[in-house]
Amino acid sequence: MNTSGVFTAIKKDGTRYYRASVTNKEKHISLGSFKSEKAAGAAYALATEILKGREEYQPEDYERVLGTADQEEKLTFDKWIMLLNLRKTGIYCKNPIYLYGKYFVYYLERNLELTFDADEFFFFQRHKLQKRGGHLFYSDFGMQCSLLARYGVKSFAVEGRDYIFKNGNNRDFRNGNLFVINKYNGVYVKEEQGRKKYDVKIHVMGNVSVGTYTDEVEAAIAYNKAADRLEEAVRKKKNNRRLNSVSTNVENNILGNEAIETTNPMGEQEDQTAGKDGVIINENIGKNTKNAAVSALDKDGAKGRNSSGSYRNWRRNYIENLSSKEYFEVYEKLRFSKKFKKYIEKM
């Protein structure tokens, strides 16, 4: 049986299967793999009908046309959407996108539709969306990028507090629908007597209040300044801990190593030191002291890196349309709340 658009292939275990493909405007399009030649031929026939037939199908016609067929023996929903869009726009897209005038729908799943502005079409033509644990992301140069981050939503932002979907549909990512309330890290807007104010909080084993400001940009810079002060305090604390540890180890080493006089076979006396475990060590005290100091630095250094590593993840806010001079003028004059100052002093 020789069916158009169907090719036989063999798996590594020797199992025979069939691949179907169609060519449209010199573009070769794979339709998938099938267990039987009949199913592959049916997929090819349907693809040809979609692209060249009289009837112009819509995305919702999938159930009507292919609803009774076995899932493994029919054209997939992704391929269905790609072929419909190819016929309508003349543009082949490897992702399941269907263009409607000024917007398009990305069918992440059969019953999960994401809506975007038409000017995003060529971006999502090249980038495949994925969903894991309720989070939407795409790959870009080997990195996993959050879909929300593309539209200015920060990591750990909360829907309803930091951003909202105006029409209530959290699958509609069109520009006029997704509105970012708090666009800077650690900055939260609130209204008091009809005026906007900006609370700044930074996370250190829980949220710590930095202060309240009347300008959003000032609040964002205050967050950056607070992160700088915290990192300085952490470094200072770690260095003091390391110095105290070294000092204690050196003192214990000097006091604990008592010189023991022994007589060698030649009748000469030499100074030997009793080691930590009572073993006689033929080394001078100075060398032991140095080794103890280096060892203490290494151990405490490793401990410091582990214990303070969580403090070094504060992401600074990037301020657009502000020169370095203007930024540092604001930075220098900003003041913190008394609560934050006390927190720094206690560290």
Residues 6+ apart with CB under 8 A from 144: 137, 138
Domain contains 111: no
* 106 within some domain: no
List all residues 6 or more positions away from 177 whose beta carbon is below 8 Å from its beta carbon: 165, 166, 167, 169
| Residue 333 domain boundaries | 210-346
Read out DSSP for 197-233? Answer: EEEEEEESSSEEEEEEESSHHHHHHHHHHHHHHHHHH
Mean confidence (pLDDT) of the chain: 81
Tokens of 107: 């069918």
DSSP strand pairing (112-117 vs 103-109) = antiparallel
Residue 205 lies in a domain: no
CA distances from 270 to 266, 278, 327 (A): 11, 17, 67
Q: Per-residue pLDDT averaged across 316-342, rounded?
A: 88
Pick from 116-125, 131-140, 242-251: least confident = 242-251
Question: Tell me: the pLDDT tens digits for 155-177?
Answer: 888 899 899 999 999 999 998 89
> Which one of 75, 92, 110 terminates a domain?
75
pLDDT tens digits for range 213-229: 999 999 999 999 999 99
Sign for the CA dihedral angle at 245, 250, 251, 257 comes to positive
Contact 313, 203 (CB under 8 A): no
Which CATH number do you get for residue 55? 3.30.730
* Residue 185 belongs to a domain: no
Q: Which of 247-251, 296-300, 312-316 has the lowest mean pLDDT?
A: 296-300
Cβ within 8 Å of residue 180, ≥6 positions away: 151, 152, 153, 162, 163
Tens digits of residue pLDDT in 240-277: 766 666 666 656 666 555 444 444 444 444 444 444 44
| pLDDT tens digits, one per residue of 55-71 | 899 999 998 888 766 66
In a domain, 139, yes or no: no
Last residue of a domain, one of 48, 75, 102: 75
- Please check the confidence at residue 198 and state whether its pLDDT lies above 60: yes
pLDDT score recorded for residue 176: 87
By CB atoms closer than 10 A (0-12, 13-18, 19+), residue 150 is: middle
pTM above 0.85, yes or no: no
* pLDDT score of 177: 94
Tell me if 130 is assigned to some domain. no
**What is d(CA 69, CA 215) in angstroms, rounded to the nearest whole number?**
61
pLDDT surpassing 60 at residue 125: yes
Number of domains making up the chain: 2
Q: With respect to residue 286, please indicate whether it lies within any of the assigned structural domains.
A: yes
Q: pLDDT value at position 68?
A: 67
* Domain end call among 25, 45, 75: 75
Evaluate whether residue 37 is within a structural domain.
Answer: yes
